[in-house]
A and B are shown apart, each in its own frame.
Chain A
Amino acid sequence: MTAMSTVSATPKIDFSGVSKTFHVRGQEVQALQPVDLQVRKEEFVALVGPSGCGKSTLLNLVAGLLEPTSGSVTYDGKPVSGLNFRVGYMTQKDTLLPWRTVNDNIGVSLELSCRSTPRAELKERVAQMVDLVGLRGFENHFPTELSGGMRKRVALARTLIYRPETLLMDEPFGALDAQLKLIMQDQLQKITQHQKMTVLFVTHDLAEAIAVADRVVVFSARPGRIRAVRDVPLDRPRDIFKVRFAESFSRLHEDLWDELKDEVVKGTDV
């Protein structure tokens, strides 16, 4: 019992005093002021804030693509050093392999020797994913033959298919139209809950953040720091299509928008 509680008390991801400074053409640019944030196991945390406030930097730190200038990032209680293979990272730019079809892009992680998958199972899981992201009929298209939104969906399917325990998502649904966005949000929250994934989800869209997340973190304009953190008082799974009309949703939306709007104005001034 005590062992259990210590395990659950250890956050999945722990940013403590993490700051990041970049050197751009000999100039120091502070992307992130010291940030403290704990993400629990199986928690869905949305990061919202103006452009360039360091949200993507946080994801890169968890993935081990960057090292913090100060402070520490720990994953399962251990400091992140080198690439963090426990996370699936869906970057802002869809990094699809241009010479592979939709099917082969989605399945690429299952071809790797670290999770070698029998051919039949691979095919089946790819087909499931194609259905999930609504790309049936495009299985044999190449990325250049797809729209921006379709490529995003391929990238999503490619990340979900290997069931990483933690998902890092950088504006995954930015390029999608409003209806499709809702459908994808719905699928994402179901899948992540079903597979007990921990999620760090970066978005510009406050309504999206509240709709999918357990907790919303609002960042200030650059240099980024946490301005507000709120729990979303709605149980998951939610009905994504209706949750927007709940009273608690609009109250939280208003509250967070008050925090965010000053920062967005500041962000555009820069």
Chain B
Amino acid sequence: MAPRPMSMTVSTGGQRGGFAALVTTLPGLIISRFLILFGFLAFWEFASDRLVSKFWVSSPTRIFHLLVTWIGDGSLWPHLEATLTAMGLGYVIGCAVGVSLGLALGFLPMFRQVIMPYVSGLYALPKIALAPLLVIVLGIDIGSKVALVAVTTVFLLFYSTLDGIRDVDRDLVQTLRLMGASRSEVIRKVLIPATLPWIFTGMRVAVRYSFTAAVVGELIAANKGVGYLIEANAGLYDATGVFAGVFVIVILSVAMTEVLTRVEGKKAPNH
């Protein structure tokens, strides 16, 4: 009698310990995560055409086959390239313009006071609302997506730069001024170095926004790009194509998030 309850206690403890041990080791964690994904895909596969028509939900195997076809015949690459190019170009332009504007208005407080209401107004406007206009002006090609990404990015960088400058410790500025620093020396030796962390934060945040902007721009009107791929397949009522496109976006987002987390992890130890 005595050994039974003992062995029960041990086995319950052993099970809890086993699960905790499984999740805390890296392979165990990966296995647990994959189990969830696997369960989800298996249920999807099962439900397709049994619980819901495949017209609406397609199925994981079909989506997988389509993805393999796209990769095999190379038809995916131009779309991927278009999306990433639009995002990259727009991001770089947006960052450059946003930081420059932020610095300029940060250094010219009078000018800032005059034009801030307009900037805030434009910032409040959902940038997606500009997409049709951008298509009219810049055409259906990549130009309008670059512009949409740039417009989205500009505001993020503008505000983080401006906030950075306004957050600079006035005492540091005063200290250098008293040493005889000129205005441009104060800018170079205090304001810009103090603002850099804010600019970097803005740049990290903007990566995600610029990706979204690129895809949404393509969804609205495009002739290329992952967003276009989704939109075109949706137009054909091809759920498999839509899901395949969404899957590509998921992969890209996850990759981007991973990279950014690594970069952020180096800066912030608690990440």
A99 touches B177 (CB 8 A): no
Partner of A83, one of B171, B177, B193, B196: B177
Say whether A9 faces chain B, with CB atoms less than 8 Å apart. Answer: no
A87 touches B179 (CB 8 A): no
A114 touches B189 (CB 8 A): no
Say whether B75 faces chain A, with CB atoms less than 8 Å apart. Answer: no
Question: Which stretch (B58-66, B118-126, B148-156, B180-188) binds chain A?
Answer: B180-188
- Binary contact readout B172-213 vs A (1 if CB under 8 angstroms, 0 otherwise): 101111111110010001100110100000000000000000
- Binary contact readout A98-140 vs B (1 if CB under 8 angstroms, 0 otherwise): 0100000000110111110000000000000000000000000
Question: Which stretch (A40-48, A89-97, A204-212, A230-238) binds chain B?
Answer: A89-97
B179 touches A108 (CB 8 A): yes
A109 touches B193 (CB 8 A): no
In the complex, chain B residues whose CB is within 8 Å of the CB of A114: 180-182
Smallest Cβ distance from B145 to chain A, in angstroms?
A: 37
In the complex, chain A residues whose CB is within 8 Å of the CB of B172: 95, 97
In the complex, chain B residues whose CB is within 8 Å of the CB of A89: 175, 178
Say whether A29 faces chain B, with CB atoms less than 8 Å apart. Answer: no
Say whether B169 faces chain A, with CB atoms less than 8 Å apart. Answer: yes
Say whether A226 faces chain B, with CB atoms less than 8 Å apart. Answer: no
Residue of A at shortest CB range from B170?
A95
A97 touches B185 (CB 8 A): no
Instruction: Evaluate whether A112 and B175 lie within 8 angstroms (CB atoms) in the complex, with A95-B169, A97-B193, A99-B194 already known.
Output: no
Say whether A162 faces chain B, with CB atoms less than 8 Å apart. Answer: yes
Smallest Cβ distance from A5 to chain B, in angstroms?
A: 31
Binding site for A on B (CB under 8 A): 169, 171-172, 174-182, 185, 189-190, 193-194, 196
26 A-B contact pairs sorted by A residue (CB < 8 Å): A65-B174, A87-B178, A88-B178, A89-B178, A91-B171, A91-B175, A93-B171, A95-B169, A95-B172, A95-B174, A95-B175, A97-B172, A97-B189, A97-B190, A97-B193, A99-B194, A99-B196, A109-B179, A111-B189, A112-B176, A112-B179, A112-B180, A112-B185, A113-B185, A114-B182, A162-B179
- In addition to A87-B178, A89-B178, 8 A-B residue pairs with Cβ atoms within 8 Å of each other are A65-B174, A83-B178, A84-B178, A95-B169, A95-B175, A97-B189, A99-B196, A112-B180
Binding site for B on A (CB under 8 A): 63, 65, 83-85, 87-89, 91, 93, 95, 97, 99, 108-109, 111-115, 162
Closest 9 CB pairs of A and B: A114-B180, A95-B175, A109-B179, A95-B171, A99-B193, A85-B180, A112-B181, A95-B172, A89-B178
